[in-house]
Amino acid sequence: MGIYLNPNNENFRMTLATGEYVDKTGMLSVTNKFIDKANNYVCVSRPRRFGKTIAGNMMVAYYSKGCDSRELFDDLEISSSYDYLEKLNKYNVIQIDMNSEYQNTEDKEKLIKILSAKINRELKNEFSQSGIDDDESLGNAILKVYSTTGEKFIIIMDEYDVLVREQVSERLFNTYLGFLNGLFKSNTLRPAIALAYLTGILPIVRDKVQSKLNNFKEYTFLDSKEFTEYVGFTEKEVRALCDKHKMDFDECRNWYDGYHQNGYEIYNPESVVCCMHDRKFEGYWGKTSSYQVISDRIAQNFAGTKEAVISMLAGEDVDVNVTRYMNTMDSFHSRNDIFTYLIHLGYLSYDYNEKTCRIPNGEVRQEWLNAIETADGYSTTNQIISASKQLLDDTLRGDEEAVAKALDLSHIHVTSNRSYNNEDSLQSAIYLAYIYALNKYTVVKEMTTGKGFADVVYIPYVPDIPALIIELKKNKTVESAIEQIKQKQYFDSLSMYYGNILFVGINYDDNTKIHTCKIEEYYK
């Protein structure tokens, strides 16, 4: 048992001891399929606080010869797998946390030499007959062990991309590339590696690093394939937690859901666990980093960035081309590069089928609002957002004139780069102006209702506030908008909702560029 070679299972044991562990050991059935196969080099990237380290510690506890973990896994999902015992604690595991090594090494330029020496010393103690020297490459040390004993290794490397994100010196970076090359590009060494499992926030860099890791199969936040249900918490898992802790699932979904992949709704696991523990809904994920990463990127203001950001703040999806970004910190050349980067960091969610991105949930939306508050060029956007709470209050009080004036400003702002008379732009203006309402309402666009489609419906998920049915008209009258709500019985579709409903009719005159509003109360 060592620090790097064949660690014990204590980290995973402590995770289980919290009492809030969501069983993700089914992931081991996936990784078991890669062992000793041609596709046994795997790189899984996902945002921070999405369980990368816990997954790595689980793998160590399961595979490492340095411990006996049967008591930990016997009651978990992996125990029902046909090869459960066959692979349990049967491998030499080398675990490397590159972020920890980088942060705790004073002489950064010697990082790789120091790290290799520490692992080599443990290899030498365990396999003394292999003739390992402290100062030789790690790849060569592993090869010596394999050639003299036939022993194979599983390499688990967490935060493999930290040197990319830290933008280290070219000298250190090239040394790191040599380290990766020695481990993963040697055809001679490959039989000695039963499995290589790398994790990071960014996918493999598509220039220098890719040449060293192009034999890895990638699972990213764009498409995590068979790892999808293990990337975060699924809807089923979150429902179970909410039931256990007597927390409202719908509100939990509004706060922490929004990452949809391969038929799964994926929730931020760190935030859900903190929410259950504290018994309150708020932004936990943002407390562990700064919204500045958003501000820095949107400040680059490539063509179309501002308009797309405003659309996403208004709750819309925008097109994104994720194929051009090079996965580095210095290769931003378009809004697509910026949005792809923010998808990998979890600040945007990605729809693989539609090739669009959006702000996923309430927690992340707050980070965007914080970023907009300080971002150059977004002062009017921030003004509209800041006034949004007042707009909702004015709507609930029936102040028709105040609502109309607020929409005048929002409509002008939203349509800065598109046709002002476009009906879609009026809807976008509504979504942006009522952004605060997302803290209390679920918004449904073009909801199938009664005998037609209501333009916008806000359904409350907190008590004692009315639902809103908003109907938009152009060059007509607010009275006709209200009448359409009544005639087409839009309210009948709210089958599970009983209580007050506000009918909000809005008309826009494309000659005067002025909105008018009428609000009526209805009880269902």
Give me the long-range contacts of 163-171 (CB less than 8 A, separation at least 24).
163/98, 163/102, 164/202, 164/205, 164/209, 164/327, 164/328, 164/329, 165/201, 165/202, 165/329, 166/102, 167/329, 167/330, 168/108, 169/108, 169/109, 171/109
- The span from the CA of 346 to the CA of 125, in Å, is 42
CA 230, CA 25: separation in Å to the nearest integer?
A: 9
The pTM score is 0.91
Q: Rounded to the nearest 5 degrees, what angle is found at the Cα of 432, between the Cα atoms of 426 and 433?
A: 85
In the sheet that 514-523 helps form, which strands lie side by side, from edge to edge?
A: 441-449, 452-460, 467-474, 500-509, 514-523
Report the alpha-carbon distance of residue 483 to residue 505 in Å, rounded: 9
Residue 423 pLDDT: 62
- Residue 419 has a pLDDT of 45
Q: Rounded to whole angstroms, how far apart are CA atoms 3 and 94?
A: 9
Please name the residue that has the structure tokens 């044991």: 13
488 within 8 A of 453, measured Cβ to Cβ: no
Tokens of 56: 């790595």
Question: What is the residue-level pLDDT of the chain in tens, covering all 524 positions?
Answer: 789 999 999 999 999 998 889 999 999 999 999 999 989 999 999 999 899 999 999 999 999 999 999 999 999 999 999 999 999 999 999 999 999 999 999 999 999 999 999 999 999 999 999 999 888 999 999 999 999 999 999 999 999 999 999 999 999 999 998 999 999 989 999 999 999 999 999 998 877 666 668 889 999 999 999 999 999 999 999 999 999 999 999 889 989 999 999 999 999 999 999 999 999 999 998 777 778 899 999 998 899 999 899 889 988 899 999 999 998 888 899 999 999 999 999 999 999 999 999 999 999 999 999 999 988 889 999 999 999 999 999 999 999 999 999 999 898 888 754 444 456 777 888 889 999 998 888 887 765 444 444 578 898 888 889 999 998 888 899 999 999 888 877 666 666 777 889 999 999 888 888 999 999 998 87
User: 43 and 180 in contact (C-beta within 8 Å)?
Assistant: no
Which long-range contacts (C-beta less than 8 Å, at least 24 apart) are formed by 371-375?
A: 371/291, 371/292, 371/294, 371/295, 371/298, 372/309, 372/313, 374/295, 375/294, 375/295, 375/298, 375/299
Give the pLDDT of residue 442. 83
Is residue 503 within 8 Å of 487, Cβ to Cβ?
Answer: no
Is-contact 94 156, C-beta < 8 A?
Answer: yes
3 state SS of 65: coil
Quote the tokens at residue 380. Answer: 């009017």
Nearest to 473 by CA among 491, 457, 454, 490: 454
CA triple 155-85-224, angle to 5 deg: 50
CA neighbor of 281 nearest in space, from 346, 362, 368: 362
Domains of the chain in start order, with CATH, are 10-228 (3.40.50), 232-288 (no CATH), 292-377 (1.10.10), 382-523 (3.40.1350)
What is the greatest pairwise CA distance in the chain? 90
The pLDDT score that the predictor gives to residue 212 is 67
For residue 224, give every residue at least 6 positions away whose Cβ sits within 8 Å of its Cβ, in sequence order, or none: 44, 46, 231, 261, 262
What whole-number distance in Å separates Cα of residue 408 and Cα of residue 402?
Answer: 10
Residue 439: phi and psi, rounded to 5, are -75, -15
- Cα Rg, the chain, nearest whole Å: 27
**Strand pairing class (356-358; 441-449):** unpaired
